[in-house]
Structure 1
Amino acid sequence: MKNTQNQKTGKFSATAQRMLDLREAIFSEWEKRVRANIEHARDLPHPLLINTFPAYFSRLVEAVSPGFPRKIATDTNTIAIEHGGERARLTNYDPRAVIAEFQHLRWAILDVLQKHGVHFSADEFYIFNASIDAAICESATAYMLTQSAFREQFVAALTHDLRNPLHSIITAAELILRTDDPEKIRELAGKVIENGHRIDRMTKDMLDCALFQNGERLTLNLSCFDILELAREVCEQAAINSQSRIELNGEAAEGWWDRDAIKRAIENLIGNAVKYGAHDEPVKVHISPQHERVTISVHNKGDPVDPEQMESIFQVFRRTEAAKSGNRQGWGIGLPYVRSVAESHGGSVVVDSCVARGTTFIIDLPVDARPYQGTPTLNSLTK
């Protein structure tokens, strides 16, 4: 910033120049406060966390300089708007987090400047606050508009995907009315039941994810069972349904979990691996108990998850660019549901993906989930 043309032409005021000199100290203080006070910011990589703030800061410096033709920092640019959209697309932020990080920027700037004996004039202080307030408004609005767009896409995808099993049910029912063949009736009735169960699973996933996104833990029906046997059951059924090669290995792992929820989570991960994996490579499922925990890993070869997408694939309404641009159907609820199941059991889910290793999703659970039913979920911490 020190070599910009603006500085060469001497347009920056003395206060603005001191802001530039203290820029790194300001951002260091801001990052410390944001990571300490905004839950979803704590584990964000620095480049993703800092986002458009350096560009915004440069405009803020210009705005407080009387000789520079900029009324406030957001004047004649879309930096704050882009920031809000990126927070919606790439993070787990909610609107309050978007607002809070600008509030932390306000106080980080004021505190660092005061510490170094720098004080705004009345006019500078007015412009400074007007700039921060405008950025808050524009970023929060952009965030909510982006979220609204995600929801519209979600509803459109949901409507499309629900129509397929509904159409199958209606077609089978109409054919039943036209035949007296018992075998044909039995076959068609099976299709009605199969597609009815499919709609029921989709609806359950959607309702559970909506509950989890509101900060509420899933209601679990805990029982003691062997998760390896459950995984074997899911793998066998998935191999039949998808006509894919699915390999299961690992050790027996008996513990206390919700059988139906874990089953649906494994089904989602295998379905995801079949959908996005290389068709000539097997999907590999592995069960590993250790240190009073158990991991369920599902691995596939094929195109890796884009690193920029890893922050958002566990969020409701999100689908990766590969899913949007390809012919694969889906409505962005499977992986968020997996996360809700894992965290409601006191565990977690992670993804490891690159060209060389392929893609692996790992559910990590305590062997006994009973003691963790009162602990908060990640989403509840920000409510």
Structure 2
Amino acid sequence: MKAAAKYIEEHTHDIIDLWEEKVNKEISASETTNSMVLRNLLPNLLEDISTVLKRNEGKKNFLKEENCSEIVKKSIDHGRHRATSSHYTVKQIIREYIVLNQALTELLISKDLHSEDISVLLTYILETSMSHSASSFTDSIQEMREKLVGTLAHDIRNPISAAYFAIDIMNYADGEEKFNKLKKTTRESLKRSIDLMEGLLDAISVKAGEGVTLNFQKGNIVEELKSVYGEAARIYANEIVLECDEDEITGVYDGTAVRRILENLITNAIKYGAQDKPIRIILKKHEGKLKLSVHNFGDPIASGNKKIIFDFLSRTDKEASGQLQSWGMGLTFVKMGAEAHGGHVELISNEEEGTIFSVILDIKSNEPGKKRARLNLSD
């Protein structure tokens, strides 16, 4: 077994190349997953396989899961990663491990390093890995659905609160103009609630690597964002300031998604920001795109958490404790929504400047129509 283990250590790239060649032929989802994603978990997995082979040299009772402890964590990571890769299924994950067993066996036989014991141990290792990876994949998809549904349910509260507020102060005696304005606010808020309800149903059917369906339409994005600002200013006790020099910026975007992006950022700013300092919303043109920023003062986000807070599936139990867990799915949606609009999210957080979440949006990158958002891990 030691000779086989040494060969695996010294020829990792050959094994990965053969595995990738076979995977690309046999697994359709790999066509939409780039080479680096396919290869990223294999070096450590092969290193662990080599370690397990060396540790069980000469042993007869090696078919125990504790002998594969190194493999289990990598397998769980593999399953969670595949849950964010488009079009993957449990069947395809299982096939990846079968193909790896085939590649290892083929190369070891060609070098006269294969034996019955090695075959049994390799099969056991990879079946153990396959089982944990498939379970992790399934659990991650379910977690994704539950958190998308939970976030949508949470976000419905904002427009309903705005509608309730408008109805509560609506009085025809205050004049027809004010009455009609509040009536319009109520109607728009309830319409957004219905749109979010449809998103709840959509989230139930989410598959690997997918987020919710967005509906891109042409419109004035400034109007959408000013509406969110107005609602927030009425609902929250904090001082909220809007800095926007434009009355109209026309483009193609999903109005519900853009509003949810801003609502999530405002909610976090209120939750984590200093209560005695204003929250600033800044909208400006930026290198042919739009830059939407929300700024607050308060305790800065630790540098080690600046990527983790966007990717709920990448967190360990330890990482999910405390403040990290309370960020929830909201920032994952912010990142997903920005990328669906051809953009990205930037974050600055320190004692001097405070915390600034900036969402870059390209409202010329999409055509009108529906499109499934992608749920990607951070780089």
TM-score (norm 2): 0.63
Instruction: Give the direction of change, closer, same or farther, for the CA distance of 1:328–1:234 in structure 2 (3 Å limit).
Output: farther
Query: Does 1:220 pair with 2:215?
Result: yes
Query: Is 1:22 matched up with 2:16?
Result: no
Residues 29 and 290 of structure 1: is their aligned pair in 2 closer, same or farther, counting only changes over 3 Å? Answer: farther
What do residues 238-258 of structure 1 show as CA deviations (whole Å, max 9, x unaligned)? 133222233333553332323
Give the C-alpha shift of residue 136 in structure 1: 0.6
* Structure 1 vs Structure 2 CA RMSD: 5.5
1:62 aligns with 2:54: yes
- The equivalent position to 1:128 in structure 2, one of 122, 130, 148, is 122
| Secondary structure of residue in 1 paired with 2:367 | helix
- Whether the 8 Å CA contact 1:209–1:340 is kept in 2: the answer is no
Counterparts of 1:240-319 in structure 2, within 5 Å, are 240-252=234-246, 253-301=249-297, 302-304=299-301, 307=304, 310-311=307-308, 313-314=310-311
Against the structure 1 CA distance between its residues 200 and 305, is the aligned structure 2 distance closer, same or farther, given a 3 Å change threshold? Answer: farther
Asked whether the 8 Å contact 2:348–2:356 carries over to 1, the reply is yes
**1:83 is aligned to 2:74:** yes
Q: State whether structure 2 residue 369 is matched by structure 1 residue 378.
A: no
Alpha-carbon distance between aligned partners in 1 of 2:46 and 2:367, rounded to the nearest angstrom:
45
Instruction: Give, in whole Å, the separation in 1 of the partners of 2:219 and 2:240.
Output: 25
Counterpart mapping for 1:183-202 below 5 A: none
Residues 241 and 98 from structure 1, CA distance in 2 versus in 1: closer, same or farther, beyond 3 angstroms? farther
Shift of 1:275: 1.9
Partner of 1:364: 360
How far is the alpha carbon of 1:56 from its aligned partner?
Answer: 2.9
Shift of 1:235: 2.2
Quote the offset at 1:140 in angstroms: 1.8
Distance 1:152 1:295 in 2: 30
In 2, distance between residues paired with 1:263 and 1:250?
16
Distance 1:317 1:199 in 2: 30
Gaps of at least 5 residues in structure 1 are: 1-11, 170-181, 183-189
1:60–1:266 CA distance, 2 compared to 1 (3 A)? same
Paired residues for 1:134-149 under 5 Å:
134-145=128-139
Which letter maps to 2:233?
A: A
What pairs up with 1:92-171 in 2 under 5 angstroms? 92=84, 96=90, 99=94, 102=97, 105-106=100-101, 109=104, 117=111, 119-145=113-139
Q: How many residues align?
A: 348
SS at match of 1:220: strand
* Structure 2 unpaired stretches of 5+: 164-172, 174-182
For 1:5, the equivalent position in structure 2 comes to: none
Letter paired with 2:251: G
Give the distance between the partners of 1:267 and 1:320, measured in 2 at CA.
Answer: 27
TM-score (norm 1): 0.63
Judging changes above 3 Å, is the alpha-carbon distance between structure 1 residues 363 and 328 closer, same or farther for their aligned structure 2 residues? same
